[in-house]
Amino acid sequence: MQVFCILGDERIMRSKSPAIFSAMLKRIGLKAAYVPFKVDPGQIGQALQSIKVLNIAGANITIPFKEKVIPHLDVLSEGANIIGAINTIVCNGGILKGYNTNAIGFMDAIGDAGFDVEGKSALIFGTGGAAKAIAFVLNWLRTTSIFVAGRDIEKTRQIVERFGGEAISLYDLPHRTLDVNIVVNATSVSSPDESPEMAALLEKIKIKDCEMVVDLNYERSENFWQDMALRNGARFMDGLPALAYQSRRTLALWTGIQVPPEEFLKVLDEIL
Protein backbone atom coordinates (compact mmCIF):
# COMPACT_ATOMS: atom_id res chain seq x y z
CA MET A 1 0.00 0.00 0.00
CA GLN A 2 1.28 3.45 -0.91
CA VAL A 3 1.30 6.29 1.62
CA PHE A 4 1.01 9.99 0.83
CA CYS A 5 1.00 12.89 3.28
CA ILE A 6 0.75 16.63 3.80
CA LEU A 7 3.19 18.62 5.93
CA GLY A 8 2.32 21.93 7.59
CA ASP A 9 2.06 23.77 10.90
CA GLU A 10 -0.94 23.71 13.25
CA ARG A 11 -3.17 25.01 10.44
CA ILE A 12 -2.80 21.61 8.75
CA MET A 13 -5.83 20.38 10.68
CA ARG A 14 -8.06 22.80 8.73
CA SER A 15 -6.85 21.56 5.36
CA LYS A 16 -9.29 19.76 3.09
CA SER A 17 -6.48 17.93 1.29
CA PRO A 18 -6.68 14.76 3.46
CA ALA A 19 -10.41 14.43 2.80
CA ILE A 20 -10.04 15.19 -0.91
CA PHE A 21 -7.18 12.78 -1.58
CA SER A 22 -8.56 10.01 0.64
CA ALA A 23 -11.86 10.14 -1.23
CA MET A 24 -10.19 10.30 -4.64
CA LEU A 25 -7.77 7.45 -3.94
CA LYS A 26 -10.76 5.31 -2.96
CA ARG A 27 -12.68 6.44 -6.04
CA ILE A 28 -9.93 5.37 -8.44
CA GLY A 29 -9.44 2.08 -6.59
CA LEU A 30 -5.84 2.69 -5.48
CA LYS A 31 -4.78 1.03 -2.25
CA ALA A 32 -3.22 4.02 -0.55
CA ALA A 33 -3.46 6.23 2.52
CA TYR A 34 -3.14 9.99 2.91
CA VAL A 35 -2.04 11.37 6.28
CA PRO A 36 -1.63 14.93 7.68
CA PHE A 37 1.52 15.62 9.71
CA LYS A 38 2.00 18.72 11.86
CA VAL A 39 5.68 19.69 11.76
CA ASP A 40 7.54 22.13 14.01
CA PRO A 41 9.30 24.84 11.95
CA GLY A 42 12.76 23.78 13.07
CA GLN A 43 12.22 20.15 12.08
CA ILE A 44 11.18 20.37 8.43
CA GLY A 45 14.51 18.91 7.27
CA GLN A 46 14.05 15.90 9.55
CA ALA A 47 10.48 15.50 8.34
CA LEU A 48 11.65 15.30 4.73
CA GLN A 49 14.30 12.74 5.63
CA SER A 50 11.52 10.71 7.26
CA ILE A 51 9.70 10.63 3.93
CA LYS A 52 12.70 8.80 2.49
CA VAL A 53 13.15 6.51 5.48
CA LEU A 54 9.47 5.57 5.66
CA ASN A 55 9.21 5.17 1.87
CA ILE A 56 6.33 7.66 1.63
CA ALA A 57 5.50 7.99 -2.06
CA GLY A 58 4.59 11.67 -2.11
CA ALA A 59 3.81 14.71 -0.01
CA ASN A 60 1.97 17.99 -0.17
CA ILE A 61 3.64 21.00 1.42
CA THR A 62 1.62 23.88 2.81
CA ILE A 63 2.07 26.99 4.95
CA PRO A 64 4.69 27.86 6.13
CA PHE A 65 7.07 25.43 4.41
CA LYS A 66 6.67 26.02 0.66
CA GLU A 67 10.00 27.81 0.45
CA LYS A 68 11.73 26.32 3.49
CA VAL A 69 11.69 22.76 2.11
CA ILE A 70 13.72 23.64 -1.00
CA PRO A 71 17.23 23.22 0.52
CA HIS A 72 16.23 19.73 1.70
CA LEU A 73 15.12 18.44 -1.73
CA ASP A 74 17.30 16.55 -4.18
CA VAL A 75 15.92 18.14 -7.35
CA LEU A 76 13.29 20.67 -8.46
CA SER A 77 11.09 20.71 -11.53
CA GLU A 78 11.73 23.58 -13.94
CA GLY A 79 8.58 25.40 -12.83
CA ALA A 80 9.30 24.99 -9.12
CA ASN A 81 12.83 26.28 -9.65
CA ILE A 82 11.57 29.39 -11.47
CA ILE A 83 8.85 30.09 -8.90
CA GLY A 84 11.03 29.40 -5.87
CA ALA A 85 8.32 27.56 -3.96
CA ILE A 86 6.92 24.04 -3.98
CA ASN A 87 3.74 22.37 -2.79
CA THR A 88 4.21 18.82 -4.07
CA ILE A 89 6.99 16.29 -3.54
CA VAL A 90 7.46 13.00 -5.34
CA CYS A 91 9.69 10.41 -3.69
CA ASN A 92 11.13 7.90 -6.15
CA GLY A 93 13.99 5.61 -5.20
CA GLY A 94 14.87 7.80 -2.25
CA ILE A 95 15.08 10.92 -4.45
CA LEU A 96 12.86 13.84 -3.42
CA LYS A 97 11.71 16.00 -6.33
CA GLY A 98 9.76 19.20 -5.74
CA TYR A 99 7.00 20.57 -7.97
CA ASN A 100 4.61 23.52 -7.89
CA THR A 101 1.03 22.72 -8.82
CA ASN A 102 -0.33 25.88 -7.15
CA ALA A 103 0.41 27.98 -10.23
CA ILE A 104 -1.20 25.69 -12.78
CA GLY A 105 -4.11 24.95 -10.42
CA PHE A 106 -4.86 28.67 -10.21
CA MET A 107 -4.53 28.99 -13.98
CA ASP A 108 -6.96 26.10 -14.53
CA ALA A 109 -9.44 27.52 -12.00
CA ILE A 110 -9.68 31.02 -13.48
CA GLY A 111 -9.77 29.52 -16.97
CA ASP A 112 -12.69 27.31 -15.99
CA ALA A 113 -14.40 30.40 -14.55
CA GLY A 114 -14.04 32.04 -17.98
CA PHE A 115 -11.76 34.82 -16.77
CA ASP A 116 -8.99 35.77 -19.21
CA VAL A 117 -6.21 37.82 -17.59
CA GLU A 118 -4.31 38.59 -20.80
CA GLY A 119 -3.98 42.34 -21.23
CA LYS A 120 -5.44 43.03 -17.78
CA SER A 121 -4.01 44.29 -14.49
CA ALA A 122 -3.70 42.43 -11.20
CA LEU A 123 -3.13 43.10 -7.50
CA ILE A 124 -1.64 40.28 -5.41
CA PHE A 125 -1.69 40.35 -1.62
CA GLY A 126 1.11 38.35 0.04
CA THR A 127 4.82 37.64 -0.17
CA GLY A 128 5.08 33.88 0.43
CA GLY A 129 5.20 30.84 -1.82
CA ALA A 130 1.57 31.19 -2.93
CA ALA A 131 2.15 34.82 -3.98
CA LYS A 132 5.19 33.76 -6.00
CA ALA A 133 3.15 31.10 -7.81
CA ILE A 134 0.40 33.61 -8.65
CA ALA A 135 2.88 36.24 -9.85
CA PHE A 136 4.54 33.63 -12.05
CA VAL A 137 1.35 32.42 -13.68
CA LEU A 138 -0.10 35.91 -14.20
CA ASN A 139 3.12 36.94 -15.90
CA TRP A 140 3.00 33.74 -17.98
CA LEU A 141 -0.58 34.54 -19.02
CA ARG A 142 0.50 38.01 -20.20
CA THR A 143 -1.14 40.14 -17.57
CA THR A 144 -0.22 43.70 -18.55
CA SER A 145 0.57 45.01 -15.06
CA ILE A 146 1.00 43.33 -11.69
CA PHE A 147 1.04 45.01 -8.28
CA VAL A 148 2.28 43.00 -5.30
CA ALA A 149 1.36 44.25 -1.82
CA GLY A 150 2.82 43.00 1.45
CA ARG A 151 3.87 44.00 4.93
CA ASP A 152 7.51 43.18 4.25
CA ILE A 153 8.47 45.54 1.43
CA GLU A 154 11.80 43.77 0.86
CA LYS A 155 10.06 40.42 0.22
CA THR A 156 7.58 42.25 -2.00
CA ARG A 157 10.42 43.74 -4.04
CA GLN A 158 12.03 40.32 -4.42
CA ILE A 159 8.86 38.97 -6.04
CA VAL A 160 8.57 41.80 -8.57
CA GLU A 161 12.29 41.60 -9.34
CA ARG A 162 11.72 37.96 -10.20
CA PHE A 163 8.47 38.20 -12.12
CA GLY A 164 7.95 41.87 -12.94
CA GLY A 165 5.46 44.39 -11.63
CA GLU A 166 5.39 47.00 -8.88
CA ALA A 167 5.99 46.43 -5.17
CA ILE A 168 3.68 48.28 -2.77
CA SER A 169 3.73 48.41 1.01
CA LEU A 170 0.43 47.13 2.36
CA TYR A 171 0.15 50.28 4.47
CA ASP A 172 0.51 52.58 1.44
CA LEU A 173 -2.49 51.07 -0.35
CA PRO A 174 -5.16 53.26 1.33
CA HIS A 175 -3.38 56.32 -0.05
CA ARG A 176 -3.59 55.19 -3.69
CA THR A 177 -6.31 54.34 -6.18
CA LEU A 178 -5.32 51.38 -8.35
CA ASP A 179 -6.81 50.32 -11.68
CA VAL A 180 -6.87 46.54 -11.30
CA ASN A 181 -9.08 43.97 -12.99
CA ILE A 182 -8.32 41.05 -10.68
CA VAL A 183 -7.35 40.92 -7.00
CA VAL A 184 -5.79 37.73 -5.60
CA ASN A 185 -5.37 37.03 -1.90
CA ALA A 186 -2.29 34.87 -1.41
CA THR A 187 -2.02 35.53 2.34
CA SER A 188 -3.26 33.07 4.96
CA VAL A 189 -6.01 35.35 6.32
CA SER A 190 -9.54 35.95 5.10
CA SER A 191 -11.77 36.64 8.10
CA PRO A 192 -11.95 39.43 10.68
CA ASP A 193 -11.25 36.88 13.43
CA GLU A 194 -7.97 35.97 11.76
CA SER A 195 -6.85 39.56 11.14
CA PRO A 196 -8.90 42.54 12.33
CA GLU A 197 -6.07 44.73 10.99
CA MET A 198 -6.44 43.41 7.44
CA ALA A 199 -10.23 43.67 7.61
CA ALA A 200 -9.97 47.35 8.57
CA LEU A 201 -7.31 48.07 5.95
CA LEU A 202 -9.29 46.53 3.08
CA GLU A 203 -12.24 48.81 3.80
CA LYS A 204 -9.96 51.79 3.13
CA ILE A 205 -8.52 50.52 -0.15
CA LYS A 206 -9.78 52.13 -3.36
CA ILE A 207 -9.65 50.15 -6.60
CA LYS A 208 -11.16 50.81 -10.02
CA ASP A 209 -12.37 48.48 -12.76
CA CYS A 210 -12.19 45.35 -10.59
CA GLU A 211 -13.88 42.40 -12.27
CA MET A 212 -12.86 39.49 -10.02
CA VAL A 213 -11.54 38.86 -6.51
CA VAL A 214 -9.94 35.48 -5.83
CA ASP A 215 -9.23 34.28 -2.29
CA LEU A 216 -6.90 31.27 -2.20
CA ASN A 217 -8.30 30.37 1.23
CA TYR A 218 -11.67 28.69 1.62
CA GLU A 219 -14.51 27.92 4.01
CA ARG A 220 -14.62 31.16 5.99
CA SER A 221 -18.06 32.06 7.41
CA GLU A 222 -17.02 35.72 7.20
CA ASN A 223 -14.71 36.72 4.37
CA PHE A 224 -13.42 40.27 3.90
CA TRP A 225 -12.20 39.45 0.36
CA GLN A 226 -15.75 38.54 -0.58
CA ASP A 227 -16.87 41.82 0.99
CA MET A 228 -14.31 43.62 -1.21
CA ALA A 229 -15.78 41.95 -4.28
CA LEU A 230 -19.31 43.01 -3.29
CA ARG A 231 -18.24 46.62 -2.71
CA ASN A 232 -16.74 46.74 -6.18
CA GLY A 233 -19.43 44.83 -8.05
CA ALA A 234 -16.92 42.10 -8.90
CA ARG A 235 -17.16 38.32 -9.11
CA PHE A 236 -15.77 36.36 -6.17
CA MET A 237 -14.09 32.95 -6.15
CA ASP A 238 -12.63 31.23 -3.11
CA GLY A 239 -9.78 28.72 -3.16
CA LEU A 240 -11.75 25.50 -3.56
CA PRO A 241 -11.68 25.37 -7.39
CA ALA A 242 -7.93 26.05 -7.41
CA LEU A 243 -7.47 23.38 -4.74
CA ALA A 244 -9.38 20.85 -6.87
CA TYR A 245 -7.33 21.61 -9.97
CA GLN A 246 -3.96 21.59 -8.22
CA SER A 247 -4.89 18.34 -6.45
CA ARG A 248 -5.65 16.76 -9.82
CA ARG A 249 -2.19 17.75 -11.07
CA THR A 250 -0.57 16.45 -7.88
CA LEU A 251 -2.31 13.07 -8.13
CA ALA A 252 -1.04 12.70 -11.70
CA LEU A 253 2.54 13.37 -10.55
CA TRP A 254 2.24 10.79 -7.77
CA THR A 255 0.44 8.03 -9.64
CA GLY A 256 0.47 8.80 -13.36
CA ILE A 257 -3.33 8.65 -13.30
CA GLN A 258 -5.13 11.52 -15.07
CA VAL A 259 -8.46 12.17 -13.36
CA PRO A 260 -10.86 14.60 -15.08
CA PRO A 261 -11.18 17.88 -13.13
CA GLU A 262 -14.92 17.44 -12.77
CA GLU A 263 -14.27 14.30 -10.69
CA PHE A 264 -12.26 16.34 -8.18
CA LEU A 265 -14.99 18.97 -8.09
CA LYS A 266 -17.54 16.22 -7.39
CA VAL A 267 -15.41 15.02 -4.49
CA LEU A 268 -15.33 18.56 -3.10
CA ASP A 269 -19.13 18.74 -3.30
CA GLU A 270 -19.40 15.44 -1.43
CA ILE A 271 -17.10 16.29 1.46
CA LEU A 272 -18.26 19.85 2.09
- Given a cut of 80, is residue 101 above it in pLDDT? yes
Q: What is the CATH number of the domain that holds 70?
A: 3.40.50.10860
pLDDT of residue 184: 98
**Same structural domain, 14 and 87:** yes
pLDDT of residue 161: 95
Residue 66 annotated among the catalytic residues of the structure: yes
Q: Give the integer Cα–Cα distance in Å for 76 and 198.
A: 34
**Same structural domain, 42 and 8:** yes
**Same structural domain, 207 and 114:** yes
- Given a cut of 80, is residue 46 above it in pLDDT? yes
**Same structural domain, 232 and 118:** yes
Range(s) of the domain holding residue 266: 2-100+241-271
Tell me the three-class secondary structure of 28-77, residue by residue: CCCCEEEEEEECCHHHHHHHHHHHHHCCCCEEEECCCCCCCCHHHCCEEC
For 5, the 3-state DSSP assignment is strand
Dump pLDDT digits (tens) for 198-227. 999 999 999 999 999 999 999 899 999 999
Q: What is the CATH number of the domain that holds 194?
A: 3.40.50.720
**Same structural domain, 108 and 225:** yes
Give percent above pLDDT 70 in the chain.
Answer: 100
Q: Does residue 64 have a cis bond before it (omega within 30 degrees)?
A: yes
Chain Cα centroid distance, residue 26: 25
pLDDT of residue 236: 98
**Same structural domain, 154 and 228:** yes
Of residues 234, 140, 112, the one with CA closest to residue 184: 234
Dump pLDDT digits (tens) for 170-192. 999 999 999 999 999 999 999 99
Q: Give the integer Cα–Cα distance in Å for 178 and 166.
A: 12
pLDDT of residue 114: 96
**Same structural domain, 67 and 91:** yes
**Same structural domain, 233 and 267:** no
**Same structural domain, 223 and 119:** yes
**Same structural domain, 94 and 113:** no
Dump pLDDT digits (tens) for 217-269. 998 999 999 999 999 999 999 999 999 999 999 999 999 999 988 888 888 88
Task: Count the domains in the chain.
Answer: 2
- Catalytic residue, chosen from 16, 66, 97, 132, is 66
**Same structural domain, 83 and 173:** no
- Given a cut of 90, is residue 108 above it in pLDDT? yes
**Same structural domain, 145 and 246:** no
pLDDT of residue 154: 95
